[in-house]
Amino acid sequence: MNVKEFTAEAYPNLALIKYWGKKDEELHIPTKSSLSIAFRIFWTKTVLKIYPGEGKVEKIAINGIPDDLKKIQNFFDKIKKFYPEIKKYNYIIESENNFPSGAGFASSASGYAALAKALGKFLNLSEKETAIIARIGSGSATRSVPSGDIVVWKRGFNSDKELSNLEEVSKRSYGETLVQKFEGISIIATILSNKIKKISSREGMKISVSNDDGIYNAYVKTEEKDFKVLEKAILKRDLETVFDITIKSAMRLHGIILSYPNNGIPVFYLYDQSLELAEKFIELIRKEGVIGAYTFDAGPNPFFILQTKDEEIVISMLRKLNVNYYIYRL
Ligand code: 2P0
């Protein structure tokens, strides 16, 4: 059998302005722009094996364990429409990732980004096209394709409204590098819990968008304004503004999540200890002059983004509280 192999790797990313909601469920076009920072101590490596066939994914294994074939076949079926070449082959996907269980990072961003990059090598795609494919797998994966430290994922343009063709809209929204190197910054990822969340991000954001009564819409508008301010602040390395917006965007995300219960049942991802740690971090900012921010994804674990020179102060606080953590220095 004539088998060809394409290998690629990708890393997770941490959003400073969050992605939360889609204007298109199929292609994952976001309602709002987002901006993230690379986290390169965790990784996914993927080997894509292809041989003549009819567009079928024959096997997928992650760290040697078979994974959800149906989900990945669905992904291939979606991208077939854009790249008909895919129909001529069958696929075996072998993925490896080094995520410790409960590290607080979802492996779907690096997972789909690594797979999209391997597909990109096979199909000879540009980085932009690869980032669009990754997005069709999982929204935040588009931000794990570009090589830069700081990546933006714009929601598209206002004129998108006039485009009737969803494919064209799709091509306007993908991860792209804003800043290649953003040195002197550390990310501390803490681990409070490794429990699987009751409601996935995908489900959670659908609940927020489908129940919009005006609050979600106002959230999108405010965040879009802050996204533009944040972009400029990053380019000027105005850390005070960067960290101020990071905290606000994290808390707005959780405010929005709490605003839309699921048929009456509260949706909430934070623990008491999540907020206590955020408060302790702010104390370090006030009393010790640390410059930084906390943020949360759709989970309870706080992430701290700060100047590397202030790292020790935060680590000593975490040690005293017996909180486990990982550090990535940009
Ligand atoms: C983010 N999250 O910007 C936000 C913050 C979670 C909270 O992107 O449905 O797994 O696959 O497009 O990418 C998680 O959402 O959702 C996410 P899908 P995804 O990082």
- Which atom of ligand 1 is least distant from the CA of 140? 13
Q: Which segment of 90-94, 199-203, 250-254, 256-260 scores lowest on mean pLDDT?
A: 199-203
The residue whose CB lies within 8 Å of the most ligand 1 atoms, and thus the one to mutate among 37, 140, 202, is 140
CA distance 300 to 191: 8
User: What share of the chain has pLDDT > 70, as a percent?
Assistant: 97
53 CA to centre of ligand 1 in angstroms: 33
Each residue's pLDDT tens digit, 62-101: 999 999 999 999 999 999 989 999 999 999 999 999 987 6
The residue whose CB lies within 8 Å of the most ligand 1 atoms, and thus the one to mutate among 19, 33, 78, 205, is 19
Task: Decide: pTM greater than 0.85.
Answer: yes
- Which atom of ligand 1 is least distant from the CA of 200? 10
Give the model's pLDDT for residue 127: 97
- Residue identified by tokens 């394709």 is 145
CB environment 101-124: b (16+ within 10 A), e (fewer): eebbbbbbbbbbbbbbbbbbbbbe
Q: Which residues line ligand 1 (CB under 6 A)?
A: 15, 18-20, 28, 34, 106, 108, 138-140, 201-202, 297-298
Is 181 within 8 Å of 37 (Cβ atoms)?
no
Each residue's pLDDT tens digit, 289-326: 999 999 999 999 999 999 999 999 999 999 999 999 99
- Joined together, the tokens standing for residue 109 give 């961003």
286 CA to centre of ligand 1 in angstroms: 31
Is 45 within 8 Å of 9 (Cβ atoms)?
yes
- Joined together, the tokens standing for residue 327 give 């550090």
Is 124 within 8 Å of 137 (Cβ atoms)?
no
- Joined together, the tokens standing for residue 157 give 């343009």
Q: How many Cβ atoms are within 10 Å of 17's Cβ, its own excluded?
A: 28
H helix or E strand, kind and range, residue 275 = helix 272-288
Protein residue with its CA nearest to atom 15 in ligand 1 = 201
Judge whether residue 152 has pLDDT over 90.
yes
